[in-house]
Each structure stands twice: as structure tokens, then as C-alpha cells.
Structure 1
């Protein structure tokens, strides 16, 4: 799984994902499955565009981990916003897309589940 942390000034891009469990929906960073033979770097940029219509450029690889909730290996990337208006262009998977101030992200995603290098991005000054 490729997970994209897109920054635009003091904001980060979040998607509200439909979930099959009792919780219903969850806020998270744009993400997509890496196809066999595919590259995580390409997947992260493509999936962000497909889900949100936001064009972004890879800034750096933040690392990887087994996701604590799913057990799936996730590759995290920090990306820079290039162009596009955040739009929910994948209504089958998501209910909403929006920009959130860095310091407000913990209101949407539990700090306890955020990958530590992503937390460091949230704490950076713009």
C-alpha cells in the first residue's frame, strides 16, 4: 500500500474513506494498492490524482511499516501539491476529500495510529 502525505502551505490532504466495519467511515491520507511489478512512488502520485484530482510531486520517502490496524505493509511518501482542486473523484471508496491544517489532523486521525515520521511532518512549521 502506498500512502501519500500531500502538503500545500500549512494544509494536508485527507480523504474520508468508506469502511465496511461498524465505524462506517474513517479519515485518512490518500492511499492505493501497489500492483504486482508496480512502483510505490508511481502508485502514490497516481492514486492521489485518481482519488482527489490533486496533482502532486514526490518530495521524499518517509519509510514503511506494517499498518497497526490492517497488518498491510505501507510505504509512506511526502508529496508537494502542484495543482488541482481537491475533489472526491472516487465516490465508490470515499465520501469526501478536504484540506486540513496540519495541527488539526489529529481531530480526524488518532495520533496513536499515525506513523511517527508523518507526525514529524505535522509538527513542522510552515
Structure 2
């Protein structure tokens, strides 16, 4: 993964791993308590800690943010997010157990299970190509 440095980006942003959780024809989205520009609805996730793989970070963050137990299925790809400048890893995970809820109310204020047709309204600037392709394959539309 390459990291571009711009004049505004004086400190390197820590890499983030997010989980793509699909269950019963919907994908879990979380709304940030404080939007970052256009970014309000996101996939659950957070900073990768020292010694963690992106898959391990995604599983841990899902538990911390939503209370769900998941396991990593496959890495979908990585990029520097075009809106935030944050290095991002995207991981498809499988739901193992739990009831989705806002478990971290400092970070999140809502969660929703979104259908394929609801995604453009939640993420109007579009999803990362490999994530969109994955969701196109696994969600009914």
C-alpha cells in the first residue's frame, strides 16, 4: 500500500480495518457520532493495533463497536481513502453470534442493516470498487 503525503497531511494517519458483515440479505452500517466531511455512515472498524493483522483488527473492532462476534472470511482489498486520506483495509467477515447494537456510543450513534438499494443513500460518494463488487455478488438486488 502506498501512502501519499500532502501539505495538509503532516502526520501519517494510522491504518484502519473495517468489516463487511452481511446477514440475511443486508450489510451492517454504522453512523459515526461526528461525521468526517461527507463520511457519516461507515462499515464497523477502527485502527489496527501494533501486532494485529487487518483481519484481527476488523474482528476486534466489530465486537467493541457493535457487540457482534464475527470471523474473518477474506480480505477484499486496501487503499488510501479518497475522502479522509486514511489507509484502509476492507475485510469480509461472517456473523458468528450476538445482537447488533451501538456498543461504543462515543464513536457511533446508530447502526442499521442496509439493503443493496439503500447503500447509495448512506454512502453517496460510492463504495470502494472491490467492496461494491463483493456486495453486488452477495446481496439481493
- TM-score normalized by the length of structure 1: 0.89
User: Which deviations, in whole Å up to 9, do the C-alpha atoms of 1:71-116 show, x marking residues without a partner?
Assistant: 1111100111111111001000100112111332222112x34110
Give secondary structure in 1 for the equivalent of 2:112.
strand
Gap change, CA 1:82 and 1:72, over 3 Å in 2: same
Give secondary structure in 2 for the equivalent of 1:63.
strand
* Count of residue pairs brought into register by the alignment: 124
Q: Is 1:122 matched with 2:135?
A: yes
Cα-Cα RMSD: 1.8
Q: How far did 1:21 drift?
A: 5.3
Give secondary structure in 2 for the equivalent of 1:124.
helix
Counterpart pick for 1:99 among 106, 113, 118: 113
Counterpart pick for 1:4 among 12, 16, 19: 19
Counterpart pick for 1:14 among 26, 29, 35: 29
- Structure 1 alignment gaps of length 5 or more: none
- TM-score normalized by the length of structure 2: 0.80
Indicate if the aligned counterparts of 2:36 and 2:84 stay in contact, CA closer than 8 A: no
Whichever of the two has the greater Rg, that structure is 2
Counterpart pick for 1:47 among 61, 66, 70: 61
User: Which deviations, in whole Å up to 9, do the C-alpha atoms of 1:18-47 show, x marking residues without a partner?
Assistant: 226576x71110011011222211110010
Indicate if the aligned counterparts of 2:120 and 2:126 stay in contact, CA closer than 8 A: no
- Structure 2 alignment gaps of length 5 or more: 1-15
Deviation beyond 4 Å, 4+ runs, structure 1: 20-23
Gap change, CA 1:6 and 1:22, over 3 Å in 2: closer
Give secondary structure in 1 for the equivalent of 2:58.
helix
Q: How far did 1:53 drift?
A: 0.9
Tell me how far apart the structure 1 counterparts of residues 138 and 104 of structure 2 sit (CA, whole Å). 31
